[in-house]
């Protein structure tokens, strides 16, 4: 009898534990985590209404452009529009993932930059219609990524595992090098698209003179100069083409000048912001203009603060 009572008591305790666990599961469900993008956009609505308004307007314009391109059967342009919509989500993703706050001015410029590059530049052919369009965007690119370079150093400096401090001069140098690296990687991307997918991202230039050691018959590594080029005849397997048939007169460069021009204006944009950032750090963050473009790293919450918020 005694053992039977003990066994029944154990069953009652086990049943109560299971019942409590079941009730807990029913009445205390776990909170569902919001997706990163949605929570970032909600936060953006509350703290950065101007940038969010620009985001909604540009997103609506991109969707209208995609509808027009689909109606015209331009499916490649539809893909470019979809790519622009994905790129619009990068700023809120960066804010959420790296715990930084993008200034309103910087965030608006990033949205406008994506729209000008993908929609106006690629779909509406502004790169061809306006020769300085590409130059303007690459200069802006050098300026913006120099600002992100400053934020990157601040982000690493706040990391307990990777902590270092740089003088204002070296901080500006790191930001400059970061911007130039992004510019070089982008030129690699353009070359890869032109080489493998037969695009023309590295735009061509007409030149009237050329110097090349390949024209040296003696193979003495002496560049041979040819000036005053007015006409070039192309011999192909299918026949003969004259560049003048396409309204061109001169030697058609295959993207070298465009690449060097893009890197040079990227250099100018990176130098401009590196100088601005140098004086911003030198004056201990008193520069009002630089604060419009430099992202701010959020302070990490202590475990005790996180427990109290929970």
Strand partners, 15: none
pLDDT value, residue 160: 62
pLDDT value, residue 20: 47
In the three-class reduction of DSSP (H, G, I as helix; E, B as strand; rest coil), residue 208 is classed as coil
pLDDT value, residue 21: 45
| Choice among 139-143, 146-150, 259-263 with the minimum mean pLDDT | 146-150
Other C-beta atoms lying within 10 Å of the C-beta of residue 56: 13
d(CA 293, CA 110): 10
| Choice among 75-84, 126-135, 136-145, 244-253 with the minimum mean pLDDT | 244-253
pLDDT value, residue 118: 92
CB burial of residue 102 (10 Å; 0-12, 13-18, 19+):
buried
| Segment 97-115, tens digit of pLDDT | 777 888 889 889 999 999 9
pLDDT value, residue 179: 95
pTM reported for the whole predicted model: 0.77
Q: What is the DSSP string of 132-184?
A: HHHHHHHHHHHHHHHHHHHHHHHHHHT-SSS-----HHHHHHHHHHHHHHHHH
What are the Cα distances from residue 56, in Å, to 41, 60, 61, 86, 177?
A: 11, 6, 9, 13, 33
* Residues contacting residue 28 through CB under 8 Å, at least 6 positions apart: none
Q: Where are the alpha helices (DSSP H) in the chain?
A: 2-27, 36-47, 49-72, 75-88, 90-98, 104-114, 126-129, 132-157, 168-197, 256-282, 303-309
Strand partners, 252: 206
Rg (CA), the chain: 29
In the three-class reduction of DSSP (H, G, I as helix; E, B as strand; rest coil), residue 292 is classed as helix
pLDDT value, residue 62: 95
d(CA 74, CA 82): 13
Tokens of 160: 């307990």
pLDDT value, residue 292: 85
pLDDT value, residue 269: 95
| Segment 21-70, tens digit of pLDDT | 444 444 444 455 545 555 655 565 556 788 888 988 999 999 999 999 99
pLDDT value, residue 25: 41
d(CA 87, CA 144): 15
pLDDT value, residue 19: 43
pLDDT value, residue 51: 85
d(CA 59, CA 35): 20
Query: In b/e form, how buried is each residue of 76-85, taking b as 16+ CB within 10 angstroms?
Result: ebbebbeebe
| Listed ranges 200-204, 208-212, 259-263; the one with the highest mean pLDDT | 259-263
pLDDT value, residue 164: 61
Counting residues of the chain whose pLDDT is more than 70, the rounded percentage is: 75
| Segment 142-181, tens digit of pLDDT | 999 998 888 888 777 666 665 566 788 888 999 999 999 9
What average pLDDT does the segment 254-269 reach?
93
Name the average pLDDT for the chain: 80
In the three-class reduction of DSSP (H, G, I as helix; E, B as strand; rest coil), residue 75 is classed as helix
pLDDT value, residue 188: 95
């Amino acid at each position: 009898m005694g053992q039977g009572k003990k066994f029944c008591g154990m069953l009652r305790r086990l049943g109560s534990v299971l019942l409590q666990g079941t009730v807990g599961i029913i009445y205390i469900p776990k909170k569902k985590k919001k997706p990163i993008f949605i929570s970032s956009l909600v936060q953006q609505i509350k703290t950065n209404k101007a940038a969010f308004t620009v985001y909604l307007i540009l997103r609506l314009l991109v969707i209208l452009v995609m509808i027009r391109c689909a109606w015209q059967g331009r499916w490649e342009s539809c893909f470019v529009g979809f790519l622009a919509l994905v790129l619009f989500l990068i700023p809120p993703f960066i804010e959420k993932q790296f715990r930084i706050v993008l200034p309103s001015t910087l965030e608006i410029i990033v949205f406008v930059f994506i729209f000008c590059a993908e929609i106006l530049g690629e779909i509406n052919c502004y790169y061809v219609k306006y020769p300085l369009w590409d130059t303007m965007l690459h200069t802006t690119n050098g300026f913006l990524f120099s600002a992100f370079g400053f934020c990157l150093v601040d982000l690493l400096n706040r990391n307990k595992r990777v902590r270092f401090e740089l003088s204002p001069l070296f901080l500006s140098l790191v930001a400059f090098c970061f911007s130039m690296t992004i510019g070089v990687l982008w030129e690699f991307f353009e070359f890869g698209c032109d080489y493998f997918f037969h695009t023309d991202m590295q735009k061509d230039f007409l030149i009237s003179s050329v110097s090349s050691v390949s024209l040296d018959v003696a193979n003495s590594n002496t560049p041979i100069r040819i000036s005053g080029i007015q006409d070039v005849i192309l011999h192909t397997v299918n026949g003969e083409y004259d560049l003048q048939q396409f309204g061109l007169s001169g030697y058609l460069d295959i993207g070298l000048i465009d690449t060097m021009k893009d890197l040079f204006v990227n250099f100018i944009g990176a130098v401009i912001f590196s100088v601005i950032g140098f004086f911003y750090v030198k004056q201990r963050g008193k520069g009002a203009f630089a604060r419009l473009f430099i992202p701010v790293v959020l302070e990490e919450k202590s475990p005790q603060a996180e427990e109290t918020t929970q």
